[in-house]
Amino acid sequence: MFSRMKTLLAGAAMVLVATNVQAAPIKIQWWHAMNGVLGTDVDKLAHDFNASQTKYEIDPVFKGTYPQILTGAIAAFRAHQQPAIIQVFEVGTATMMAAKGAVYPVYQLMKDTGQAFDPKSYLQAVTSYYSDANGNMLSMPFNSSTPVTYINKTLFKKAGLDPDKTPTTWPEVEADAKKLRAAGVACGFTTAWPSWVLVENFNALHNLPLGTLDNGFGGLATRLDFNNPLELRMWTDLAKWEKTKIYDYGGRADTAYAKFASGQCGMMMESSASRASVLASKIDFGMGPLPYWPDVKGAPLNSIIGGATLWVLKGVPKEQYKGVAAFFAYLSQPKVQAWWHQNTGYLPITTAAYDLSKSEGYYTKNPGADVAIKQMTRGTPTANSRGLRFGSFVQIRDIIEGNLEQVVAGKKTPKQGLDDAVTQGNALLAQFQQANQ
Amino acid sequence: MIAKRVTFKRTGLPLALLAPQLAVTGIFFLWPTFVALKQSLYRSDAFGLRQVFTGLENYRALLFHGNYLATLERSGFFAGCVTVLSLAVGLVLAVMADSLGRSGRIWQALLVWPYALAPAVAGVLWAYMFDPAIGPITHALAHIGIDWNHVLNSGEAMTLIVMAAAMKQVAYNFLFYLAALQAIPKSLMEAAALDAAGPVRRLFSLIIPLIAPTTLFLLVVDLTYAFFDTFGLIDSTTYGGPGNSTTIMVYQVYKDGFIDQRFGPAAAQSMILLLLVGALTMVQFTLVERRIDY
């Protein structure tokens, strides 16, 4: 706390100095949630930007987990001590968007500061999640990923399956999983981030809405309605498969990852950003897109993303905003983006960075690394696959996963579980609407 | 007889001596409580840009809608299980250690160890031991035909956190019980033994009534612990799941307030918790303090 105040004071002092003497750079605080290797990568981004010019200095501060950053930033904002840039996970988007007096939309920032900015150079499937109904970019995509399918090639061979063929449809997943089980593998497939994979992306892939009013893009009056026949069929199958361990529920967040990494499950649906960890686990693995139901017309559409974006907060000293805009422009440069993408496994956010990685031969050298981006960019995003904009979504995810758990454990019928998830989630949406109107 | 009170002639010095404590209490306890109380009467967005006074609406919503009553019930069940389990095990261990005499010292030292473990660390250890995918105990259980999966089975999840929470408190209860047992005059026990009362009879007719004041004290301490100090444990093992089956009151406050930024309902819940801890403290002061004769 005190050290932060000190840096803030130091920052303020520097700002004062900067107006008189040109030399001292303007300090800009950036709160992020990237620790470990990713934290080092973030530091390098900031360092390289700082070295590229002399006017501004980005100061990256690790602030804990995503929820901690959001809570911390809100507390700081209420105390008028907010940083200029905060990293917010995708499910916090609605909270940030609703806080009109607190956030400085990126498109507005770029316009106000006169920074050259071409929204069309960004990958639509990435930016659409973070744009308003008119397509204006509200936050800067930073680390984006999407769920894909991983297979354990060793176990596939053991079961007499073709290790170079990742199943692409649900019937294929079921058939492969059955063969894996018959060969003595403990579980066929598992899913990390159950709500993200089995509900959010599932509906997007099949061009079905998760909620009304274009998944919440159309306003706060949105309500969930994903208790559709296809989702019901999926949950019914999951409950059925759990009994014979064709499917094995592996817990919330990415705890299911352990089931795949320990060689218990032959397949896993998990974030594309986990590729690096799977690589490190020494498992001989293959990657493919998420499965879909082939009897659904128009499927599969593009998948939707997860990860986080950078939001700009209002109320910091004015001269910092030009620096923020310059930093965002720097981050969007093809070279910087391609480095970030190749180094971390997150998706590139501009077409140019994707093309650059292609021409550098990155994808031929790293098979599987382009599965996510191909899946993200296939077809044109519809209102159902553009993204989600629901308030209280962290808790709604909890509710969805809580009900899925009860269905898979046989405590609720799939219909009851789905209906309950929708009803309970809608109660939170109603409260969010009231609080933010 | 020693005078119970030390009296000062003037009020200046005692006030000056009290001032630091009063300041700490005021700044760190009373002020936040007041802010929480105020917050609980408002409906506000996350950033506090729009605040609407809603009176007792947050409380009404908690008590008449949604699943807060279930959370209350669950918290009571959890606290009850933890308290009973840790009291019983603590007493049995204390009786056994006490009967060992001098050689019991090493056991005493060993049994106190778990108390030094931070709840979050204990949680991580338990979560690992019972992990459905990689836990050694899970593997051992599988050999005897038990398919342990607290990620899906709510009963097993509750069992896990009750065991983990009780484990820590057993050490604490053990210490107090051991002290209480050693305070029982040897002559009393010998007289009972001469009257042909066996160890079990002595435990129920003599020891348990004699250490009742300790039990009452520990009851309050254990309940308070189970209600309020188990957040770290749950956050590192079950995250309140599966479903909501291990979401107790403190965890619900965290979920609503810190994950979901719904500060109004979270503040109302913390007020309810405050009332609860107030009630427990009252019980402690009126019943326990009065009965125990130092």
Record the tokens describing residue A94, joined without a space. Answer: 């609605």
Q: Which of A163-172, A419-428, B225-234 has the lowest mean pLDDT?
A: B225-234
DSSP 8-state code for residue A122: B
Record the tokens describing residue A160, joined without a space. Answer: 């007499």
Domain locations along chain B? 80-291
Taking an 8 Å cut-off on Cβ atoms, the answer to whether B133 and A95 are in contact is no
A&B contacts, CB < 8 Å? 94
pLDDT tops 90 at residue B6: no
Q: Contact at 8 Å (CB) between A162 and A415?
A: no
- How many angstroms separate the CA atoms of B260 and B256, rounded? 5
B213 contacts: CB under 8 Å, gap ≥ 6: B180, B288, B291, B292
pLDDT tops 50 at residue A137: yes
Q: Is the ipTM of this complex over 0.85?
A: no
- How many angstroms separate the CA atoms of A418 and A228, rounded? 9
pLDDT tops 70 at residue B168: yes
Domain locations along chain A? 2-145+305-365, 147-303+391-436
- How many angstroms separate the CA atoms of A52 and A81, rounded? 28
Q: What is the dihedral of CA A108, A130, A378, A195, to 10 degrees?
A: 180
Q: Which residues of B touch A255 (CB under 8 A)?
A: 151
- Which of the four pLDDT bands, split at 50, 70 and 90, describes residue A2? very low
Instruction: Give the residue-averaged pLDDT of B122-129.
Output: 88
Q: Which CA distances in Å does A9 have to A6, A15, B211?
A: 5, 10, 58
Q: Which of A141-155, A314-328, B191-205, B222-236 has the lowest mean pLDDT?
A: B191-205
- How many angstroms separate the CA atoms of A230 and A243, rounded? 21
Record the tokens describing residue A9, joined without a space. Answer: 């004071």
Instruction: Give the residue-averaged pLDDT of B34-45.
Output: 89
Q: Which residues of A touch B133 (CB under 8 A)?
A: 250, 258-259, 262, 264
Bigger pLDDT: B46 vs B222: B222
Q: Which of A55-69, A157-171, B140-154 has the lowest mean pLDDT?
A: B140-154
pLDDT at A14: 47
Record the tokens describing residue A413, joined without a space. Answer: 């019928």
pLDDT at A17: 46
Record the tokens describing residue A225, joined without a space. Answer: 């309605």
Q: Taking all residues of chain A, what is their mean pLDDT, rounded to a whole number? A: 90
Q: Which residue is associated with the tokens 């905060």? A: A86
- How many angstroms separate the CA atoms of B185 and A312, rounded? 71
Taking an 8 Å cut-off on Cβ atoms, the answer to whether B47 and A99 are in contact is yes
- How many angstroms separate the CA atoms of A417 and A247, rounded? 18
Could you tell me what percent of chain A has a pLDDT over 70?
A: 95
Taking an 8 Å cut-off on Cβ atoms, the answer to whether A251 and B132 are in contact is yes
Q: pLDDT tens digits, residue range A239-257? A: 999 999 999 999 888 889 9
Helix axes B119-129, B154-183, angle to 10 degrees: 130
3-state helix vs strand vs coil in chain B, percent to 5: 75, 0, 25
Helix axes B119-129, B136-143, angle to 10 degrees: 40
Which residue, among B151, B256, B119, B126, has the nearest Cα to A405 in the 3D structure? Answer: B151
Chain B, residues 29-48, CB within 8 A of chain A, namely 43-48
Domain range A2-145+305-365, its CATH number among 3.40.1190.20, 3.65.10.10, 3.90.190.20, 3.40.190.10: 3.40.190.10
pLDDT at A244: 95
Task: Please check whether residue B259 touches A, CB under 8 A.
Answer: yes
pLDDT at A10: 52
Q: pLDDT tens digits, residue range B238-277? A: 888 787 889 999 999 998 888 888 888 999 999 999 998 8
**Residue A257 distance to chain B (closest CA, Å):** 10
Q: Which residues of A touch B42 (CB under 8 A)?
A: none
| Phi, psi (degrees; rounded to nearest 5) at A60 | -75, 135
Most confident of A124-138, A186-200, B4-18, B34-48: A186-200
Q: Which pairing describes strands A265-271 and A26-32: parallel, antiparallel, or unpaired? A: unpaired
Task: Please check whether residue B243 touches A, CB under 8 A.
Answer: yes
Q: Which of A61-75, B67-81, B186-200 has the lowest mean pLDDT?
A: B186-200
pLDDT at B4: 60
Helix count (H) and strand count (E) of chain A?
A: 21, 9
CATH class of the B80-291 domain in this structure: mainly alpha
- Which of the four pLDDT bands, split at 50, 70 and 90, describes residue B110? confident
pLDDT at A1: 42
- Which of the four pLDDT bands, split at 50, 70 and 90, describes residue B292? low
- How many angstroms separate the CA atoms of A304 and A125, rounded? 7
Q: Contact at 8 Å (CB) between B171 and B115?
A: yes
Q: Which residues of A touch B49 (CB under 8 A)?
A: 99-102
pLDDT at A292: 97
- Which of the four pLDDT bands, split at 50, 70 and 90, describes residue B218? very high
Residue A143 DSSP SS3: strand
pLDDT at B147: 84
pLDDT tops 60 at residue B127: yes
Q: Reply yes or no: is the peptide bond before residue B265 cis, omega within 30 of 0.
A: no
- Which of the four pLDDT bands, split at 50, 70 and 90, describes residue A91? confident
Taking an 8 Å cut-off on Cβ atoms, the answer to whether B154 and A409 are in contact is yes
- How many angstroms separate the CA atoms of B93 and B115, rounded? 15
Q: Which residues of A touch B240 (CB under 8 A)?
A: 398
Taking an 8 Å cut-off on Cβ atoms, the answer to whether A405 and B261 are in contact is no
pLDDT tops 60 at residue A12: no
Q: pLDDT tens digits, residue range A415-429? A: 999 999 999 999 989
Q: Which residues of B touch A98 (CB under 8 A)?
A: 45-46
CATH class of the A147-303+391-436 domain in this structure: alpha beta
Q: Which pairing describes strands A26-32 and A85-89: parallel, antiparallel, or unpaired? A: parallel
User: Which residue, among B42, B51, B152, would best test binding to A if mutated, counting the most A CBs under 10 Å from its CB?
Assistant: B152
Q: Which residues of B touch A395 (CB under 8 A)?
A: 255-256, 259-260
Instruction: Give the residue-averaged pLDDT of A28-40.
Output: 90
A102, A398, A411 member nearest B47 (Cβ): A102
